[in-house]
Structure 1
Amino acid sequence: RLPAEGLACPLHGTAGCAVPDPGELPALLDGPGPAGGPVPSWGTGTGAAVAEAELLHGLTAVLACLIREAFRHEGRVTAVEGLLRGLARWAGEVNSAGRLPYGQLRLGAQYAQVAGRLRMERGQIGVAMAWFGHGLRWADAVQDASARATLLSDMCTLVRLDGDPSLMLGYAQGIGAVDARRRWMATLSDLYQARGHALSGDAAACRRHISLARRGFARLGPQDHLEAPWMAGAEGAMRVDSAIGGALRDLAVATGDRAAARRAVDATARSRA
């Protein structure tokens, strides 16, 4: 059932939608399974008989499977991008028919995010940013706040790897501006702003955002955990400590502050405990 691997249903959110059995997925998608294959045509010809919701559920289930395996198998990026292109074409067909391709664009943003992460893992910065940009545009088209926030967080990581703290700070502030009512977004924003200020050597601002992030994380509620399950419990604490450790490590490198280096070691150790 959805959500799976952090993926909500693109039509019904966290309502607990059922997904097709794994054996049904290749037939449902009219060709490619998780191993890849030709880009499918959905919503036209004989494929139009498949209920739109069922097909979107199936595509979401496939993406969840790919997420579980993608970073262990080199060929998965081809499968993700092939399905993403088919999904984008389907969205175009729905739009041409005079309907907003709401579910297609929401799911397309999730596929684009995974494609961008896979390219980022391979050091392909330009391709990764292009996919994140597509995902952000699709998320904005259907006002998907959660997708916008997580895509901006990935863009923060990407520009940090590219050595651009000022651009990172801009994206990080953008996360907090998506929806001020969602505490998990504010917490993410503070974590990335802490890292951006660390790279710039601004110790006071870095420490201020670390404190805000810790406070925000402690105040996350059930709705935050439902929307961002990776921010809940021990996994969430590990992510926060890891992010803080990275910020303090960057600050120590930028300023030569030995106290920051010691705190970085402590935070990193907690994240691995």
Structure 2
Amino acid sequence: PGPPVAALAPVLPAGLAAHLPERLPDYGLLCPLHDAAGCAVPAPADLAALHTAFRAADPDTAAPVDPDTAHALAGLLAAHLRAGDSPTAPGTAAVEDTLRVVLRRLAARPAGPDRRPLARLAGEYAHAAGALRMQDGRNATAMACFTRALGWAELAGDHATQVAALSDMSFLARLDGDPDAALGYAREISRVAPARHWAGAMGQIAQARAHAMTGDVRATVRHLGRSRLHLDHIGIHDESDAAWLSIASMRLRVEAGAAAALRDAAAAVDDPLLARRAVAAAETALALLAPDQLPSARLLFTVRVADCHLLAQDPRAAADLLGPVLAAAGGGADGLPPLVRRELAGLRRRLAGHGLAG
């Protein structure tokens, strides 16, 4: 057996400890033992010791994951995700290091209920690794992580991670300019989470965005309508799957996705009226955020509103909105989150076409 936890005396990095939640669920992550019921995350010193002990244990002789360790590993992952944009956070390498330990422990466990918490942690850690890789622009590596996350989440019966992985895979396919693959991943969402209205809404949004790439306005609008219908039917089964779920959070996701889909369709067919509908959806999403809530999302939605104004043939409104975004980044795009930079690049190209600098 390894040394007692107290004797290890490890220290959680300051850049990570500041983002550690007090309780689970947090940042969309459920406890692998208690699901959405809620549980406390160990204090930073205890969490660091539990994490170190988990990494040091022999996979072949280790006992099943105990509640304190499960809470520590899930809380640590939530902290990594919250700290994703912070230059002082340990980052992707630390997440992948823990993932490898989880996988060694999972491979050593015989088939049975003791494997489910490890499989759930493997799925969540692999998905987080993919998300962090995607932030760094490492899309091929991110896709590999999402593929692995999908398999482990299916083993664990974790609908939330399956849907999140497929949504991200559809997003990466759109980045690669492959609408057929994007549509395929989006349609798969309904298979992995049938009769779950929150998942249905996300799947319909992803399908709308895939159709928007090709300028299929009719299909885009049809899927957006279906996504909004799902919001009227979210119930207790949905809430047990998705820790972050609420009507407000789902409406935020639907309106943000609708704005992006309508914007892409408007750009594909050069339709100012469609772009004005995109402006309305983007402004609705922006209004659903509290002033101090999700600053990266607020920047993203602001850039998206500006882009929609431009496509609606109002370049001056677009340029006026862009100024504060760049001011928040110190006058340049390098300090912005990757998704905001990507949106900003497309907007700047269109602004240049109107003879305006961005």
Q: TM-score, length-normalised on structure 2? A: 0.68
Q: What residue identity is the alignment partner of 2:93?
A: T
Distance 1:51 1:251 in 2: 48
Distance 1:103 1:93 in 2: 14
Alignment of 1:90-239 (within 5 A): 90-95=105-110, 99=112, 101-239=115-253
Distance 1:17 1:64 in 2: 14
Kept after mapping to 2: 8 A contact 1:18/1:57: yes
Q: Give, in angstroms, the shift of residue 202 of structure 1.
A: 1.1
Kept after mapping to 1: 8 A contact 2:208/2:223: yes
Distance 1:266 1:51 in 2: 48
Kept after mapping to 2: 8 A contact 1:42/1:90: no
- Which ranges in structure 2 are unaligned for 5 or more consecutive residues? 1-22, 288-358
Q: Give, in angstroms, the shift of residue 51 of structure 1.
A: 5.4
Kept after mapping to 1: 8 A contact 2:25/2:243: no
Kept after mapping to 2: 8 A contact 1:41/1:86: no
Work out whether 1:9 is the aligned partner of 2:20. no
Distance change (3 Å), C-alpha of 1:43 and 1:217: farther
Percent identity between matched residues is: 38
Distance 1:270 1:62 in 2: 33
Q: Give, in angstroms, the shift of residue 229 of structure 1.
A: 4.4
Higher-helix-fraction structure: 1
Work out whether 1:248 is the aligned partner of 2:254. no
Distance 1:146 1:234 in 2: 18
Distance 1:178 1:253 in 2: 32
Distance 1:211 1:147 in 2: 25
SS at match of 2:221: helix
Kept after mapping to 1: 8 A contact 2:170/2:206: yes
| Number of the residue aligned with 2:320 | none
Distance 1:42 1:188 in 2: 39
Alignment partner for residue 264 of structure 1, among 265, 272, 278? 278
Q: Give, in angstroms, the shift of residue 123 of structure 1.
A: 0.9
Distance change (3 Å), C-alpha of 1:179 and 1:257: same
Q: What residue identity is the alignment partner of 2:37?
A: A
Q: TM-score, length-normalised on structure 1? A: 0.88
Cα distance per residue 1:90-135 (max 9 Å; x no partner): 111224xx55621111111011111101111111011101110111
For this pair of structures, how many residues does the alignment match?
263
Distance change (3 Å), C-alpha of 1:252 and 1:42: farther
Distance 2:240 2:31 in 1: 13
| Number of the residue aligned with 2:12 | none
Q: Give, in angstroms, the shift of residue 49 of structure 1.
A: 6.7
Alignment of 1:27-38 (within 5 A): 27-30=49-52
Higher mean C-alpha displacement, 214-223 vs 239-248: 214-223
Distance 1:196 1:247 in 2: 8
Q: What residue identity is the alignment partner of 1:81?
A: E
Cα distance per residue 1:121-161 (max 9 Å; x no partner): 11101110111011111112233222212211111111111
Distance change (3 Å), C-alpha of 1:42 and 1:217: farther
Distance 2:36 2:174 in 1: 32
Distance 2:252 2:32 in 1: 28
| Number of the residue aligned with 2:94 | 79
SS at match of 1:27: helix
- Which ranges in structure 1 are unaligned for 5 or more consecutive residues? 33-39
Q: Give, in angstroms, the shift of residue 52 of structure 1.
A: 2.9
Q: Give, in angstroms, the shift of residue 66 of structure 1.
A: 1.3
Q: Give, in angstroms, the shift of residue 30 of structure 1.
A: 1.9
Which of the pair has more CA radius of gyration? 2
Q: Give, in angstroms, the shift of residue 16 of structure 1.
A: 2.0
Q: Give, in angstroms, the shift of residue 44 of structure 1.
A: 4.3
